[in-house]
């Protein structure tokens, strides 16, 4: 029998379930698997689809399960781009759980209002600006 939370409100039971969800999906890195789906998560957690949807609406800005996974993947892509700036975007897409680079571009733009390439360029420009000001001395 699937576990259910309480009547659609934040509660200790729902909070505990959400922490389990985060452990199951985010902290384990399962969201990076292109084959992840709602049914597998529900089965692994022993909850029904309605409970999963309720948890997402209570504790995240995500509107549904694919949105929840996409947000995590974009967050991870930002981290990968920051820490590995020379990694090709096709490889970034692959390590972040996107099926294709085009899919990553579309989803990234939806959540960050910029493309992954533009995001990487902005990071490089910011780093150059910081370096320039670090080396700048005022002569009197």
Domains and CATH numbers, the chain: 1-60 (no CATH), 65-140 (1.10.10.60)
Q: Compute how many other C-beta atoms are within 10 angstroms of the C-beta atom of residue 109.
A: 15
Task: Look over the chain and give the mean of its residue pLDDT values, rounded to a whole number.
Answer: 88
Q: How far is the C-alpha of 33 from the C-alpha of 26, rounded, in Å?
A: 11
In angstroms, how far apart are the furthest CA atoms of the chain? 77
Which two three-digit tokens encode residue 21?
Answer: 């969800």
30-56 tens-digit pLDDT: 999 999 999 999 999 999 999 999 999
Phi, psi at 3, each rounded to 5° = -80, 140
- Confidence check: pLDDT of 139 > 70: no
As a whole number of angstroms, the distance between CA 32 and CA 12 comes to 28
> Is residue 3 scored above 60 in pLDDT?
no
Predicted confidence at residue 2, as pLDDT, reads 44
CB distance 5 to 14 below 8 Å: yes
Q: What is the pLDDT of residue 125?
A: 80
Per residue in 93-132, pLDDT (tens digit) is 999 999 999 999 999 999 999 999 999 999 888 765 555 4
């Amino acid at each position: 029998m699937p576990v259910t939370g309480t009547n659609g409100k934040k509660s200790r039971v729902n909070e505990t379930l959400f922490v389990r969800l985060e452990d199951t999906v985010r902290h384990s890195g399962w969201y990076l698997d292109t084959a992840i789906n709602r049914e597998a998560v529900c089965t692994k957690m022993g909850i029904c689809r309605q409970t999963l949807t309720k948890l997402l609406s209570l504790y995240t800005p995500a509107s549904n399960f694919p949105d929840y996974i996409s947000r995590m993947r974009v967050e991870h892509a930002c981290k990968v781009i920051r820490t590995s700036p020379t990694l090709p975007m096709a490889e970034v897409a692959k390590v972040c759980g996107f099926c294709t680079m085009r899919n990553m571009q579309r989803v990234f733009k939806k959540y960050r209002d910029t493309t992954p390439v533009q995001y990487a360029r902005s990071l490089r420009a910011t780093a150059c600006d910081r370096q320039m000001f670090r080396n700048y001395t005022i002569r009197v």
